[in-house]
Structure 1
Amino acid sequence: MEQTQRVSGPGGKVSPAVIRLYATMAAARFHGLELDIRDFAAEPGEDSPSPASLARWLNEQGAVAKGMRLRWRYLVRLQNTPPVVLMFRDGSAGLMVSADPERGVVWLRDPMGGEGDAPVPVDELRLSQVWTGDVLLVKRRRDESEADARFDLLWFAKMVLREKKLLRDIAFSSLVLSVLQIFPPLIVMQVLDRVVSYHSMATLVSLSGFVIILAFYEILLTYGRRELTLVLSTRLDARMSLHAFNRLLALPLEFYERQQTGEILGRFMAIFKVRDFLTGQLLTTMLDMFTLVVILPILFLLSSTMAWMTLAGAGCIGLIVVTFLPAVTRVMGRQVRAEMSRGSILYETVAGIRTVKTLALEPTRREEWDERTAEVVRWKLAAGRMSNWPTTLVMPFDMFINRGVILVGAYLILTNSSTMQAGALAAFMMLGGRVASPLVGLAKLTESFNEVMVSLAEAGMVLNQPTETKALTTGMRPRIKGALTFMDVNFSYPGSTTKALNNVNFDIPAGTMLGLVGRSGSGKSTVTRLLQGVSRNYTGYLRLDGVDLREINLTHLRRSFGVVLQDNFLFRGTVKDNITAGRPGLTIDDVVRAARLAGAEEFIERMPAGYDTWIEEGSTNISGGQRQRLAIARAVICDPKLMILDEATSALDPESEALVNANLQRIGKGRTMVIVSHRLSSLVDCHQIAVMDQGKVVDIAPHAVLLERCEIYRMLWLQQNRHTQPPGASDDGIEQMSEGE
């Protein structure tokens, strides 16, 4: 709704950009995909969404979309097709629902109208006056989404094979280069056998000209292949990085809560070892194999005996590497895990450096770092020694290929065992070195492949975890009002033997301010987790406006909520950027309105640059109260119909708490609020207060009623407000309640 208002024209007239968005949503709805206009993020500087931006949006939401340019003769042949979005010159769009090539017309429907509206026939002349020639084709993805595909070598293979055109061009250029590499050794053979032996100057001149021409084409082709390879590697790198980061964002919050952040980052960074292997050593070795295919027959023509010797030497190298592969794999895996464990210590220390400094924990952290470093060094040394054995054992065979074969060739010439001459021997050595290199590289590739498999397994431990992608892209998108119903809701955390929520039942209408109180561990924050969709494996029924929470699109659900926690994270950037973090397209007027509602306007205006004041990492240049009020402004800027405040004021000083509490009544108008707080004084004005104990709702009523009939609430109230009671009154009351328990 906010985006619609933002791009609407004067007088509330719907702008062309919104019409184009609604046309895209209508095409997606035909395939069963319900999109939310608020999910679309426009590219900077775009007055109206481009086909590429719309295709990206659709692909992120689980569809297959492609923007392209069509001519009329192709467009009119699209019969019996799903709706096609046509881009108009004014920035709007239309829906083509049918075509009739015999009559030369296409049938268009207004995307802002109803689905039952009759389409209008349009011919080529009329359409050419408004149509840009661009279309957006949409279909539903039938196979497994790339975002959910398992992260393994098969995924990499599919990703590489998508670049068929580039692979074809690289393969062709490599084949031509391999053919061209045959000629220099043959020219050397001719120089030695004919020019030097017969002192033929004419032959030397002709061979020199041939060498220059070959060099020119070889340089040109080499440059072209490098350019193509660079484009291929950067595309693979970009796709891999985007996929991995999107998968990381799609992981549920529960996964991050169970795992160490340092280990998650370490395993995630292992993906770049896979990237380096794919775009580096593997690609180079595969290209070198063309040389092997082309040159190997020439070697057998020159001398089959020496060719078999070269192949035998390379085969022995491969056998040695494969033999040592399991042992190297085992030790290298231990090294990788030790490095990740050390990285976890590093991240933890840097993230908690304030605690380390204030408690003088440097010696303790240093000792732990030393222990982890020693373990890394131990396994790195073991891995190096294990790898040193095959490297040493292959050296004699490598030397034989590069040096020994020439001695064998010389012996064959001297004993007249071969018709080979000195020039042919030199040519064989030049070609043999080029054949041996890819064979040796292929054998050594298995060693690197082993390291990559270890890295792939470590990255898979993070990236192959179940994601929220389906919940984020599918489900209902009802209009949120804020009525909540808990009916026999039970929930247990993974690994726990006790229920965090035990048959929770309550019902509140929209616009209610609900307080949640109780002792620590009573289940207050668990209720808010379920409302936010953080945990969905509960039993019973949890409904929002009568709709089961698990049936609602997760992105839509979370964007309809405003959440303020006890310790809110602010991003490094300006005050304005932090307030509009969830809605980057909103104006400064929206920011000021939200800041005023949260009580943050007065201190923002006192800042050196106002709303453009830079907030440092960790929010070190603002106070805790200011940070909380900015978090509240960030939560209310999208005008949510349901807000959750989970201990939002517990870390504030009395003055800041009083200021925030004073604004709650104003913030709560027209919206449902769920407020979790240990300080009962901040909940006095709530319409309903739910008292929780051991995962159950013991009672729910206004403050005055709870003081009369709920012992737990009364005891908590007296404990926190004994300073307001006459001397001795508070203590007597507490003692009486203790006796009654």
Structure 2
Amino acid sequence: MAAARFHGVELDIRDFAAEPNEETPSPATLARWLNEQGAVAKGMRLKWRYLIRMHNTPPIVLMFKDGSAGLMVAANADKGIVWLRDPLGGEGDPPVPVDELRLSQVWTGDVLLVKRRRDESEADARFDMLWFVKMVGREGKILRDIAFASLVLSILQIFPALIVMQVLDRVVNYHSMATLVTMTSFVVIFSFYEILLTYARRELSLILSTRLDARISMHAFNRLLALPLEFYEREQTGEVLGRFLAIFKVRDFLTGQLMTTMLDLFTLVVVLPVLFLMSPTLAWMTLASAGCIGLIVVIFLPAVTRTMGKQIQAEMRRSSVLYETVAGIRTVKTLALEPTRREEWDQKTAEVVRWKLAAGRMANWPQTLVMPFDAFINRGIILVGAYLVLTSSSHLQAGALAGFMMLGGRVASPLVGLARLMESFNEVTVSLSEAGMVLNQPTETKAMTTGMRPVIKGALSFNSVNFVYPGGTTKALNDVNFDVPAGTMLGLVGRSGSGKSTVTRLLQGVSRNYSGYLRLDGVDLREINLTHLRRSFGVVLQDNFLFRGTVQDNITAGRPGYTIDDVVRAARLAGAEEFIERMPAGYDTWIEEGSTNISGGQRQRLAIARAVISDPKLMILDEATSALDPESEALVNANLQRIGKGRTMVIVSHRLSSLVDCHQIAVMDQGKLIDIAPHPILLERCEIYRTLWLQQNRHMQSSGASDAGQLSEGE
């Protein structure tokens, strides 16, 4: 953290998650975390003679054997001394000089180099073909080794054809046993090296493809996580998933067909000159036929692109129906919506089949038209060659013709593959375009990796805050002004659409394109690091999502460092301890997908435990009790007073009875703040609040009037 701070990168240790079974974080783990937080870091192992020369570098982190670390701030090669500083010490503490002997007793040899990211990183760059090319280019060493192996293999592939020529022209014609023995030994030697190099190239290609696969998958998923919530709210989830999965078609193309074709091109470069030496006539015929195949593919490329794009879009719309049906299967079953969903699925399937048939027919034309040229390369060349041998119009002999056919097939294959590659490239381009519609959306990466990380106390200040949702025309918040000190329990009430939930969205940084000033402890909310902000909040929604896993896993979600004692404390604070202990396995009880094996009240209390485990100084409860039964609601409300001690609480609720104990209640209407005061004062002076209160407590009024009537009759 001290090395990152030197470069202006502020870090929060709570953002760090160590690898499983790793007692002390390794340089690789720390480098991964720093790269995610907006820095550029690299872990490596150095020897003393290299470390001592790094005297003009920024602070370097040295990893020690006891799991701690030191900060090397200077070095002097002449004196053989480096200066170390304690990263947990003060900025003014003088560094300590250390020589090689003393350092070797504590230093592991591992270092961590850190610098600030100044250019556009791979994680932030636009997802397009150039992005993939750059990613492949980073594997330069493996690519060089694969290229060298391919070149040698291409050269070795010439010799079997030459040996066949010699066997036919000399061994068979002249019955030379000595030549046959010599040729046999050559075949054995060349076959051995070919097998060895082929295995090595496959191994390198496998390593390259798996590394690219892992990197593409991680970057694509990280980009998906970095997209703002507003994007997911306005897009269909099924289409988002369909477009995201299109990126794997690009991955398969890069690590499969493209790589194979590029490797085969080495054969073309090496073998083609040999073909021209054998027979220029046959070589030109082979090239011309392959060129015609490529020309046909290029001509049909635009039409195939259009129909294939329609097919992919239709498949994504069908995937969207599938996702919605599975996600809402409970509603489908309870309302007997199977026929409706089946009809919609059938319609989408018919659309997919129609475009798939159209795309297949369109692709069938070029595939049919290239067949004569393909057949000529594989069968016609030998007939032309035989004619040349019989007419003696060239120096071509039977052995040379056999050798030409062996090498000609190896040349024609990459040429035809290159033409096919263009057709596949067309499909990949469409897939990349679809994936780019999701992955190239503006992300929150900068907001999550930069900004201030102040200590949160919970004082809120709204000053002339205005906000309009994207695509909207009316203000969701209209000139909102209020201030509440830290430790305040603030209630937000109002009719539907009054702007209550919008206030909580702005506080969580979900939407940042507001005007005016929204301050947290005097700091503008847009200046605070977004990850730090959200980790400092505890948020409980009306419908909270629990992940498939144990009770403990869900309470500690995103907080891997917390112990079972912290989990129990949070559960007790949320009123969840009593029902967790009655579960079959207690805190290790498995929660099924969709939380089907626990009640709504239990799910809400687990969500509250998840929110309070990090002891946040500001909590947001957005309709957290509106979906609960009266008993569960009463239990949760009883715990709110205990939860709210020492922290700011922002509670959104339609039920005013749950807000009467709030220090301040803000009344919203049509995006405006109508009034803010405690409950008794609002009843007296705020007409909207009084109307809402009377509507919700009408039964109490009627009950009171009935009791008064009975009393007067008795008198």
How does the TM-score come out when normalised to structure 2? 0.98
1:727 shift after superposition: 5.2
For 2:704 and 2:115, locate their aligned partners in 1 and report how far apart those are by CA, in whole Å.
74
Alpha-carbon displacement from aligned partner over 1:400-425 (angstroms, at most 9, x marks no partner): 11111111111111111011111110
Q: Is the deviation greater in 206-215 or in 458-467?
A: 206-215
For 1:482 and 1:389, locate their aligned partners in 2 and report how far apart those are by CA, in whole Å.
68
Residue 90 (structure 2) aligns with:
114
Structure 1 unpaired stretches of 5+ = 1-24, 731-741
Residue 470 (structure 1) aligns with:
446
**Aligned counterpart for 1:486 among listed residues 447, 462, 466:** 462
For 1:500 and 1:578, locate their aligned partners in 2 and report how far apart those are by CA, in whole Å.
33
**Aligned counterpart for 1:396 among listed residues 362, 372, 382:** 372
Alpha-carbon displacement from aligned partner over 1:393-447 (angstroms, at most 9, x marks no partner): 0000011111111111111111110111111101101110110000000011100
**Aligned counterpart for 2:568 among listed residues 592, 614, 618:** 592
Residue 296 (structure 2) aligns with:
320
**Aligned counterpart for 1:568 among listed residues 534, 544, 548:** 544
**Map 1:224-303 → 2, pairs under 5 A:** 224-303=200-279
For 2:374 and 2:555, locate their aligned partners in 1 and report how far apart those are by CA, in whole Å.
64
1:216 shift after superposition: 1.1
Amino acid at match of 1:694: Q
* Mapped pair 1:180 → 2:156: yes
Alpha-carbon displacement from aligned partner over 1:432-479 (angstroms, at most 9, x marks no partner): 011000000001110000000000000000000000000000000000
For 1:433 and 1:89, locate their aligned partners in 2 and report how far apart those are by CA, in whole Å.
60
**Aligned counterpart for 2:334 among listed residues 358, 361, 364:** 358
Amino acid at match of 2:436: G
For 1:276 and 1:72, locate their aligned partners in 2 and report how far apart those are by CA, in whole Å.
44
Question: Taking structure 1 as reference, are residues 599 and 728 closer, same or farther at Cα in structure 2, changes over 3 Å only?
Answer: closer
Structure 2 unpaired stretches of 5+ = 707-715
Question: Taking structure 1 as reference, are residues 136 and 727 closer, same or farther at Cα in structure 2, changes over 3 Å only?
Answer: closer
Alpha-carbon displacement from aligned partner over 1:681-735 (angstroms, at most 9, x marks no partner): 00010000001100011010101111111111111111111111145869xxxxx
Residue 695 (structure 1) aligns with:
671
- Tell me the SS of whatever aligns to 1:360: coil
Residue 612 (structure 2) aligns with:
636
Residue 103 (structure 1) aligns with:
79
For 2:22 and 2:331, locate their aligned partners in 1 and report how far apart those are by CA, in whole Å.
46
Amino acid at match of 1:564: V
Residue 58 (structure 1) aligns with:
34
Amino acid at match of 1:37: I
**Aligned counterpart for 2:649 among listed residues 652, 673, 677:** 673
**Aligned counterpart for 1:67 among listed residues 33, 40, 43:** 43
For 2:470 and 2:51, locate their aligned partners in 1 and report how far apart those are by CA, in whole Å.
55
Residue 589 (structure 2) aligns with:
613
Residue 39 (structure 1) aligns with:
15
- Tell me the SS of whatever aligns to 2:188: helix
Residue 147 (structure 1) aligns with:
123
How does the TM-score come out when normalised to structure 1? 0.95
Residue 308 (structure 1) aligns with:
284
Alpha-carbon displacement from aligned partner over 1:49-101 (angstroms, at most 9, x marks no partner): 21111111111111111111111111111112100111111111111101111
Amino acid at match of 1:345: V
Residue 349 (structure 1) aligns with:
325
CA contact (8 A) 1:641 1:672 kept: yes
Residue 511 (structure 1) aligns with:
487
Residue 332 (structure 1) aligns with:
308
CA contact (8 A) 1:518 1:524 kept: yes
For 1:247 and 1:726, locate their aligned partners in 2 and report how far apart those are by CA, in whole Å.
57
Amino acid at match of 2:659: L
- Tell me the SS of whatever aligns to 1:322: helix
- Tell me the SS of whatever aligns to 1:725: helix
Residue 736 (structure 1) aligns with:
none
For 1:42 and 1:240, locate their aligned partners in 2 and report how far apart those are by CA, in whole Å.
22
For 1:535 and 1:582, locate their aligned partners in 2 and report how far apart those are by CA, in whole Å.
22
Question: Taking structure 1 as reference, are residues 92 and 728 closer, same or farther at Cα in structure 2, changes over 3 Å only?
Answer: closer
For 1:430 and 1:147, locate their aligned partners in 2 and report how far apart those are by CA, in whole Å.
47
- Tell me the SS of whatever aligns to 1:699: strand
CA contact (8 A) 1:62 1:145 kept: no
For 1:626 and 1:253, locate their aligned partners in 2 and report how far apart those are by CA, in whole Å.
26
How many residue pairs were aligned? 706
1:46 shift after superposition: 2.0
Residue 733 (structure 1) aligns with:
none
For 1:38 and 1:586, locate their aligned partners in 2 and report how far apart those are by CA, in whole Å.
11
**Aligned counterpart for 1:454 among listed residues 430, 439, 446:** 430
Question: Taking structure 1 as reference, are residues 728 and 93 closer, same or farther at Cα in structure 2, changes over 3 Å only?
Answer: closer
Residue 19 (structure 1) aligns with:
none
Identity between Structure 1 and Structure 2 (%)? 87
Amino acid at match of 1:673: M
For 1:257 and 1:410, locate their aligned partners in 2 and report how far apart those are by CA, in whole Å.
70
For 1:90 and 1:247, locate their aligned partners in 2 and report how far apart those are by CA, in whole Å.
36
Amino acid at match of 1:102: D
For 1:726 and 1:253, locate their aligned partners in 2 and report how far apart those are by CA, in whole Å.
45
Q: Compute the RMSD of aligned alpha carbons.
A: 0.9
* Mapped pair 1:583 → 2:566: no
Residue 525 (structure 1) aligns with:
501
For 1:232 and 1:603, locate their aligned partners in 2 and report how far apart those are by CA, in whole Å.
51
Amino acid at match of 1:292: L
**Aligned counterpart for 2:3 among listed residues 4, 11, 27:** 27
Amino acid at match of 1:371: Q
Amino acid at match of 1:31: H
1:582 shift after superposition: 2.1
Q: Is the deviation greater in 189-198 or in 223-232?
A: 189-198
* Mapped pair 1:169 → 2:148: no
